[in-house]
Amino acid sequence: RFFKTDGGLKNLGLRPADVVVSNIIAETLCELKEDLLNLVKTDGYLILSGIMAQRKSMVKSAFADLVRIEEKKSADWQAYLYRKGH
């Protein structure tokens, strides 16, 4: 299922999932970090994309407490696959 919101993620009535994907700008990813993590089951995966290359350190720093499994990059964009542990 896909959900769209114009605000935070708390009021959508979502349950934690095995995989959560967020394709938005780095600043918003960092602002929504706790909401995003609450949506990922333990041992689940979080995919963050839509990150401009010059903002990658911001996201890597904000999500440093997760295990980063993989990263993909193009000339202008970054994407990261994280695993949420115990």
In angstroms, what is the C-alpha Rg of the chain?
A: 12
Q: How distant, in Å, are the alpha carbons of 21, 22, 59, 76, 81 from that of 52?
A: 16, 14, 10, 6, 16
Tell me the per-residue pLDDT of 8-35, one tens digit each, with 9 for 90 and over: 666 666 788 899 999 988 998 998 899 8
Strand ranges of the sheet holding 17-23, from the earlier edge strand across to the other edge: 17-23, 40-52, 77-83, 67-73
pTM, rounded to two decimals? 0.84
Interval 79-83 mean pLDDT: 96
Q: Which residue has the higher pLDDT, 77 or 4?
A: 77
Which SS3 state, helix, strand or coil, does residue 47 take?
strand
Which residue in the block uniquely carries the two structure tokens 């299922």? 1
Write down the pLDDT at residue 76: 87
| Cα(41)–Cα(79) distance, integer angstroms | 20
